[in-house]
Amino acid sequence: MLFKTFSWQRNDISFVFAEELFNNNEETPAFTDFLQLLGDTVELQDFKGFRGGLDVSHGQTGSESVCTVHRQQEIMFHVSTKLPFTEGDMQQLQRKRHIGNDIVALVFQEEATPFVPDMIASNFLHAFIVVQVEEPCSDNTVYKVSVTARDDVPLFGPPLPTPAIFRKGPEFREFLLTKLINAELACYKSDRFARLEDSSHTRHGVFNELQFTEVL
């Protein structure tokens, strides 16, 4: 989430397709299926809802994105594959600018490969929720969920079951979106953002708007 644009009912969250991370332009059927589970794909041009820092006038941040509303919380995902891709730019700075300035990242995997948070260089990303799909695009689709966060981020609910495996469906969607929102709230209690809160600019610009109860 871009902390400068945060408000009490609006959240923007990075969504990274782990396959090649920032250099990936292809959306596999499994990834598309997961996007559809999370929210609605919307055209950004003249979009009237919460835009999460995306350009809705000149197309500078891509033509479409994914958004949803969960328990009165507006969420705009920064989907890595939908952000502008620059040929010849190995670092894909356009994409990194949005992903790296968020606080929570949702990472989607199609293979059982270890995810190391340091793969995404960022001073702001504090929590990662990793989702690995098994038997995608079938009646037996399940998702394995793991969570990693910086040491100073307090625990946040809902707790992961044992094993942390979910069947595709509305219950998994409810769990995941709630977990994402609570992750964002927990990150604001970390040491880094507690220090930011001490400044009058940040206190008036961001933290006064965080007056709501954690979604459980």
The Cα–Cα gap between 196 and 166 comes to 37
Which structural domain range is residue 20 located in? Answer: 3-209
216 domain-assigned: no
Mean pLDDT across 58-87: 85
> What CATH number is given to the structural domain containing 200?
3.40.50.11210
CB of 171 within 8 A of CB of 204?
no
Quote the pLDDT of residue 115: 75
Confidence check: pLDDT of 206 > 80? no
Helix (H, G, I), strand (E, B) or coil at 209: helix
Which amino acid is it at 209? Answer: E
pLDDT band at 16 (very low <50, low <70, confident <90, very high): low
Instruction: Provide, rounded to the nearest whole percent, the portion of the chain with pLDDT above 70.
Output: 72
Q: Is residue 120 part of a domain?
A: yes
pLDDT at 131: 95
Question: Residue 113: its pLDDT value, please?
Answer: 77
Domain membership of residue 214 (yes or no) is no
For 14, the token pair is 């990075």
Domain count of the chain?
1
Other beta carbons within 10 Å of 74: 17
215, part of any domain: no
CA 38 distance to own-chain centroid: 11
Prediction pTM value: 0.80
Q: Is residue 177 part of a domain?
A: yes
Pair 122, 101: CB distance under 8 Å: yes
Question: Is residue 168 in some structural domain?
Answer: yes
pLDDT single digits (tens) 177-188:
999 999 999 998
Q: Which tokens hold the place of 202? A: 């940040």
